[in-house]
Structure 1
Amino acid sequence: MELRHLRSFVAVAEELHFGRAAERLHIAQPPLSMQIKQLEQELGVQLLIRSTRKVELTPAGASFLDSARAILASTETAVEDARRVASGHAGRLVLGFTGSATYDVMPTLAQALKLDLPGIELDLKGEMLTPVQVTGLLDRTLDIGFLRPPARDPGITVSILRREPQIAVLPDTHPLAAASAVRLADLRDDPFITYLSQHRSVVYDAVIEACERVGFTPEQHTEVAETSTLVSFVASGRGVALVPASVQHLAVTGAVFRPLAGQTQEVALAVATRKDDPSPQVARVLSRTYALLGGPH
């Protein structure tokens, strides 16, 4: 069954006149009549009653008209949907966010994308460490990652969005909790709550390097995978922590955030995609990301 046959039948059924239907379809009347005959032969039923004076629908034709209209409408919708996906105005993307970006970038970007690109369905995954995001990009379970570099796999492209200082997270009962700024060296005797070691977290390495630069290595530390857990552990008095400044958007009762005095080591936030990804949806989200957060550095 051809769509042109359905369109021809609907035109004749609505006009109840072959001449007017032919004009509407911009074709000659004989080919139109032939298409209706071919459709009736294919279906094995008579759809129209023709006479010299008028054209009428048979009961079967009246029933088929509703179905033909639905099929044509569905086809038009499918074509429009395909065009919207091909142009990047519709589709589905999976976005991953590193711990601190989960409480800062993710809500801000999600709101902007919902307004600007309502046709793109977003699956947002928070608290994803950089190595996990890299794996997700490579195995195509993730389309865009917001992570902490370095991420040097040749299969992905990484663009720095911003750099931010590390800050201290202290229990509100800590002797330095009321200070306007904290010297990192003054935390040398405190147990630390850190992200995962053994190159599973970029921020872990940055924390250890910052401590070593002022003359100590945290001897007692508890490792956690999620930022919310890290701040909650600090709030419960189990230790102190260093985190990227954007983590202060996560408010947890019992934890206070304080800047570090003097020069502090910055950590970068980057956006990562598969190398040479042709997806127009990815391109549109990246464009909106750069407009919102600043272009790649």
Structure 2
Amino acid sequence: MELRHLRYFQAVAQEKHFGRAAVRLHMAQPPLSQQIKQLEDELGVLLLSRTTRRVDLTPAGEAYLARVRAILQSVEAAGDEAKRIGSGLEGRLVVGCVGSATYSLLPSLARALREQLPDVDFAFQGEMLSPDQVAALRDGSIDLALLRPSGDPADQTDLTLLTLRDEKYVVALPEGHRLAARSRLRMADLRDEDLIVHSGHGRSAMYDAVVELCRDAGFEPVIRHEVAETSTLVTFVAAGLGVAIVPEPVSALVVAGTTYRPLANSARMQLVAATRVDDDSALLARTLLVLRRQVTA
């Protein structure tokens, strides 16, 4: 038994006439009659009651037609679903984000993805450090990472990196801090300040960036607190536990007791999109297109 037998039977049952069914199926009547007879022989039951004028369903044929309709509808739906998934219009995709992207880019990106790809199940994991995102990409936990470049590029040949934007630095200060009265700050102004940074020891690209900024300004940073999440970092600043150097988009995270001032420095921190080199899914390609539009909007 093949699907064509079911389609032939359904056509005859609906037309109640072999000639009209044959025309509908674009085939000759004798082969159609032969195929229906083969189907009945395989099932061992008479499905159609034939006369010279019309064809009627037997009780067994009535029951069989209901099942056939459901089967053919399911097959058609399966094909449509496969085509939509293959073209990137359905499926599931998991996006990871570093802290600053979680608060500045993720809200608008999530809205745009829902609007432009409504049948895709998107999941988001915010506040992920860059090394954690790289590991998650490699084990398949996430499909797209929004992260800070870190580590040796030679060790990341299995990833594709797309630069989204270069971000300036700002300084997060407790309200009432002596430096908050200034409109802009220099790195030298932070020489004796207690710093709050993202976790070090290879865990955060921002840790290395802050240390490098301080050393380029001629001093060693005084690091008092290391945290994993950007929201915690800003909260610590608001609590008066120190100051922090962060990418400008972090200023979108408004926490009472914290104020931001631009850093007079030409250094920039990149935000990149990372994917697996071997991931050529149409859904990922569509997602990256939406992402690029959001970044350049």
Alignment check: 8 A CA contact 1:206 1:265 kept: no
Does residue 237 of structure 2 align to residue 230 of structure 1?
Answer: no
Distance 1:43 1:253, change over 3 A: farther
Tell me whether 149-158 or 69-78 shows the greater mean CA deviation.
149-158
1:104-123 mapped onto 2 (5 Å cutoff): 104-123=104-123
In structure 1, distance between residues paired with 2:188 and 2:64: 82
Q: CA deviation at 1:188?
A: 2.8
In structure 2, distance between residues paired with 1:123 and 1:41: 51
What whole-Å deviation, never above 9, does each CA across 1:29-63 have from its counterpart, x for those lacking one?
11211222222223332221111222111222212
In structure 2, distance between residues paired with 1:67 and 1:243: 63
Does residue 167 of structure 2 align to residue 170 of structure 1?
Answer: no
Note the residue ranges of structure 2 that are not aligned, 5 or more in a row.
none
Q: Which residue of structure 1 lines up, in the alignment, with residue 267 of structure 2?
A: 265
Distance 1:220 1:98, change over 3 A: closer
Q: What is the percentage of aligned positions where both structures have the same residue?
A: 52
Alignment check: 8 A CA contact 2:143 2:276 kept: yes
In structure 2, distance between residues paired with 1:264 and 1:175: 24
Tell me whether 101-110 or 111-120 shows the greater mean CA deviation.
111-120
**Match among 189, 203, 207 for residue 206 of structure 2:** 203
TM-score scaled by length of structure 2: 0.93
Give the AA of the match of 2:170. I
Tell me whether 208-217 or 25-34 shows the greater mean CA deviation.
208-217
Q: Which residue of structure 1 lines up, in the alignment, with residue 26 of structure 2?
A: 26
Give the AA of the match of 1:283. A
Alignment check: 8 A CA contact 2:195 2:221 kept: yes
In structure 1, distance between residues paired with 2:44 and 2:26: 27
In structure 2, distance between residues paired with 1:64 and 1:232: 67
Q: CA deviation at 1:158?
A: 1.1
Q: CA deviation at 1:68?
A: 1.0
Q: Which residue of structure 2 lines up, in the alignment, with residue 101 of structure 1?
A: 101
In structure 2, distance between residues paired with 1:134 and 1:220: 26
Q: Which residue of structure 1 lines up, in the alignment, with residue 283 of structure 2?
A: 281
Alignment check: 8 A CA contact 1:136 1:142 kept: yes
Alignment check: 8 A CA contact 2:197 2:223 kept: no
What whole-Å deviation, never above 9, does each CA across 1:175-211 have from its counterpart, x for those lacking one?
2334322333333333221101012111111111112
Q: Which residue of structure 1 lines up, in the alignment, with residue 215 of structure 2?
A: 212
In structure 1, distance between residues paired with 2:117 and 2:30: 47
Q: Which residue of structure 1 lines up, in the alignment, with residue 294 of structure 2?
A: 292
In structure 1, distance between residues paired with 2:87 and 2:238: 48
Alignment check: 8 A CA contact 1:137 1:273 kept: yes
In structure 2, distance between residues paired with 1:257 and 1:45: 81
Give the AA of the match of 2:197. T
Q: CA deviation at 1:276?
A: 4.2
Alignment check: 8 A CA contact 1:210 1:264 kept: no
**Match among 161, 181, 186 for residue 184 of structure 2:** 181
In structure 2, distance between residues paired with 1:65 and 1:83: 27
Q: CA deviation at 1:148?
A: 0.4
In structure 2, distance between residues paired with 1:263 and 1:239: 20
Alignment check: 8 A CA contact 2:186 2:265 kept: no
SS of structure 2 residue aligned to 1:20:
helix
Does residue 82 of structure 2 align to residue 78 of structure 1?
Answer: no
In structure 2, distance between residues paired with 1:227 and 1:87: 36
Tell me whether 286-295 or 219-228 shows the greater mean CA deviation.
286-295
In structure 2, distance between residues paired with 1:279 and 1:54: 51
Does residue 40 of structure 2 align to residue 37 of structure 1?
Answer: no
Tell me whether 210-219 or 16-25 shows the greater mean CA deviation.
210-219
SS of structure 2 residue aligned to 1:167:
strand
In structure 1, distance between residues paired with 2:266 and 2:181: 20
**Match among 248, 252, 261 for residue 251 of structure 2:** 248
Give the AA of the match of 1:258. R
In structure 1, distance between residues paired with 2:81 and 2:255: 44
TM-score scaled by length of structure 1: 0.93
Does residue 152 of structure 2 align to residue 128 of structure 1?
Answer: no
In structure 2, distance between residues paired with 1:207 and 1:201: 10
